[in-house]
Chain A
Amino acid sequence: MGTGQASQGSSEPILSLIGISKQFPGVRALDGVDFHLLPGEVHALMGENGAGKSTLINIISGLLHPTSGKICLAGKEVFFATSMQAQKAGISTITQEFNLVPQLTVAENIFLGREPTGRIGLLNWREIKRRASEILNELGLDVPLGQRVGYLSVGDRQLVEIAKALSTEFRIITMDEPTAALNATEVARLFGIIEKLKQRGVAVLYVSHRLGEIFRIADRVTVLRDGKRVGTGAVAELTENDVVTMMLGRALKKEAVIYQAIPTAGEVALSVKNMAIPGFLSSVSFDLRVGEVMGCAGLVGSGRYELTRALFGLLQISSGDVEINGQFLRLATPGEAIRRGIYMLPEERKVEGILPDLTVRENLLISAKRLFQRLSELLINAKEEEKQYETMRKSLDIRASSSAQKITKLSGGNQQKVMLGRALMSESRILLLNEPTRGVDVGTRVEIHAVIRKLAQNGYAIIVSSTDIPELVSVSDRCLVLNVGRMKGLLDRAQINEDNITALAIGQEIRADDK
């Protein structure tokens, strides 16, 4: 169980980060951050995507080493070579992917790697059950110790993860987006436990996007922006607007943006009515028109990720209708989606995008021909393909030494261009672009945005689903904002700006008179 010696409100920090910087090739993730964590406090860490929150957490838990600066634990300077060392020093980390073994029981997972044994090396079940039930009691988690973790709900599993931490002597616990997958009851339960941890003197470092929750549970909040610490303050003395201002760097303005004319939108290409995916989305409806770019915004757990995947046949819709050109769709595979004219650019290029052993040209053209579509197209027509490659290379400005180069040798930005080219070569007129400029340098980013706008002008219907809000502002004609699985708003051009999107995404309302 956590054993913070000092009681809540003590002024000696349990953890201090002084001048911490972290340099990655090409990007400075953290820049001279000073950060202090007091025992018995709940300290929230906020910031936009890329502000450095994850990097900071990883440094604290020993997964990353700082490029410069020092870390002090209870006044003594420490260096964590591995995450195990940080654990042993009393820092517990709860990540979004639980480190649980689904086939083992609750009790076994709690003590994994640290099992108490008897004299002949056998597990001391009595001890395990005693301590485990104490911990579960403490957490108010009413699941049987003999239950396999795989059968528990996500909320229960998270508590088992916390129970793991509780079984060690720990003084600091970091939680990264802990409520992303929880329902309201489970969130309340989690907060109750955090309160208990506070009373024991444990310091809780709480990373989240959700403003409402921060104001419920945290004592202090630190805001990061572009790798720097912008401000720290007591939650009681701040308003939500103050925090958002720190995050964005300026006051939240809900002004109308001067808007440039869009081409008159064409007919409806894709019509979505009351689409629902159990556990992820409830009742989303919109019409996507030819010639328009619709942005789709939403934080972790909002359903943004699942929306496009469902439209592409990778996820099953439980209810609702999707129509293309007036015809109903029931998509079971991506292949079917492509045949109906929809193509999706996946979010994780490395995992489900590029084909690592294949060349640039092959990656580009892989979706172009259906197998056995026409008997005459069984063989590869190298000349024809070179022409197609050249056309695409020019229009997208792909930098590759030749079409026969292995795709893995290209830079991230160029790989993304190839992926975009692949989408275009598939002859689908409805494009679902997920994070189209992720991992792409600034110059390429601008190029890709220009391409997206040009495609729309040429008659494509495009959805850009992204966590990069400025990107959505740059390219969207309209913007759908999701929050906790619901459509929080569908902004038209006049209303699209960073502030509105951010506000809706974190759950705030935009009042009519703010527009």
Chain B
Amino acid sequence: MSNAPGLLNFKTIFRVSHATRIIQFAESLGVFVLLVIVVAGASILAPGFFTYTNLTNTLITASITAVTGLGMTFAIAMGGFDLSVGSVQVLAAIVAAGLLSMVEPPLAILGALLTGLALGLLNGILISKLGLPAFVVTFGMMSVVRGVALLVTQGQSVMITKHIEFGLLNNGKIFGIPVPFITMMVVFIVLSVLLRDTPFGRHACAIGGNRAAAIVSGINIDRVTIAVFGLVGVTAATSGVMLSSQLMIVDATLGIGFELQAITVSVLGGTSLSGGHGNLVGTVFAALLLATIASALNILKVVPFYQYLALGLLLIFALAIDSARRAFIARSLLSRT
């Protein structure tokens, strides 16, 4: 027993045992290493990949996915899911595009974000207050919101004609860095702080990790659930705004399958489906990975549908690794020491 005072100094506090260190390292760095390999491979095998234009586009695509992925990571850490993010994204994009013909860009963006917030909060309320299972509720909402988007646009495209400077959100650069990437970094920083440095974030992880313990600790499960789903809605709406800025013309068929991408980048990035922990850095890397693969395949003129295949296989692969990891942890926890 170490009773010496002052033994637990600053360095000791941050020390972790070897096994844990390796695992945590592997969790965040695994995707990064993969990313580096894929980027290197793409640069070699796909001529035209490592050009300024292409890298910028890849970065932009990754950023749009990453933003919602970060929100989804938060939800998965809490033990929940949101299958409606694709529909929310497209509705927000339509709202933004539509509002731009009437008001200034900042208001249009605000309108879109509020739409996402409202839908997210609705999800959260249905799930927590009515006790309905998360994935089925968001599954149903996915359809409802998509339908609303179709109704609002009547199947037509919405083109952004006024306030064309809105496109700067996508094309602009600050100090040479594409604005979408900056947007993503802002979301990343905000969510990181929320997840790691606020009671709210810790409570969300507690709910996902051990719901009973969270209840006993006096955490208000309903409130946290509603807030987290609201957060997911806002990130999905942000992606929608970015999307509308990128395309400058939106219609209600966009974003189908987006929820799959969001979940894939979360799990691939190291966030476990069992909840309790969210690897935001990993999500960003995974989004970059996905975008890189897509870009490389595009350049190599590989038929785009192989990308669907890759996405599906990647998800299954990531999930299989996650479940293997969970089984390993469960077995090692079962033994007494």
Contact = CB atoms under 8 A, between A and B. Distances in A.
Q: Do chains A and B touch in the complex (CB under 8 A)?
A: yes
Nearest to A84: B218
Given A113-B217, A147-B17, A103 B3 contact: no
Contact of B5 (A104, A137, A142, A150): A137
Given A129-B13, A144-B15, A151-B20, A122 B198 contact: yes
A133 B5 CA distance: 10
B7 interface: yes
Interface residues of B, number: 41
B209 A103 contact: yes
Contacts of B197: 122-123, 125
Contacts of B333: 102, 150
A145 B202 contact: no
Contact of B335 (A123, A129, A279): A279
B288 to A, nearest CB: 25
Interface in A158-178: none
A192 B48 CA distance: 68
Nearest to A189: B1
Nearest to A144: B15
B322 to A, nearest CB: 13
Interface string A398-416: 0000000000000000000
Interface string A177-194: 000010100000100100
Contacts of B212: 97, 99
A101 B203 CA distance: 10
A101 B16 contact: no
B216 interface: yes
Contacts of B210: 99-102
A123 B334 CA distance: 33
Contacts of B185: none
B51 interface: no
With a 10 A CB-CB cut-off, give which of B20, B210, B335 has the most chain A CB atoms: B210
Nearest to B329: A150
Given A154-B336, A278-B335, A113 B203 contact: yes
Contacts of B98: none
Nearest to B5: A137
A115 B199 contact: yes
B19 A151 contact: yes
Interface residues of A, number: 43
Contacts of B202: 104, 108, 112, 115, 123
A83 interface: yes
B13 A145 contact: yes
A192 B198 contact: no
Given A101-B205, A113-B203, A146 B13 contact: yes
Contacts of B203: 112-113
A140 interface: yes
Nearest to A87: B218
Nearest to A181: B336
B337 interface: yes
Interface in B12-63: 12-17, 19-20
A137 B3 contact: yes
B8 A133 contact: yes
A101 B276 contact: yes
Given A113-B219, A140-B1, A150-B329, A103 B213 contact: no
A133 B209 contact: no
Given A101-B214, A148-B20, A181-B336, A140 B209 contact: no
A101 B217 CA distance: 11
Interface string A13-41: 00000000000000000000000000000
Interface in B290-337: 329, 333-337
B267 to A, nearest CB: 15
Contacts of B329: 150
Contacts of B146: none
B2 A112 contact: no
A5 interface: no
Contact of A104 (B2, B12, B198, B205): B205
A129 B11 CA distance: 12
Contacts of A148: 20
14 contacts: A83-B216, A97-B212, A100-B210, A101-B276, A103-B275, A104-B205, A112-B206, A113-B218, A137-B3, A137-B7, A140-B1, A144-B14, A146-B16, A150-B333
Interface of B: 1-3, 5, 7-8, 12-17, 19-20, 193, 197-199, 202-203, 205-206, 208-210, 212-214, 216-219, 275-277, 329, 333-337
Given A99-B213, A123-B198, A140-B1, 12 more contacts: A99-B217, A112-B202, A112-B219, A113-B218, A117-B199, A122-B197, A129-B13, A133-B8, A142-B1, A145-B8, A154-B337, A183-B336
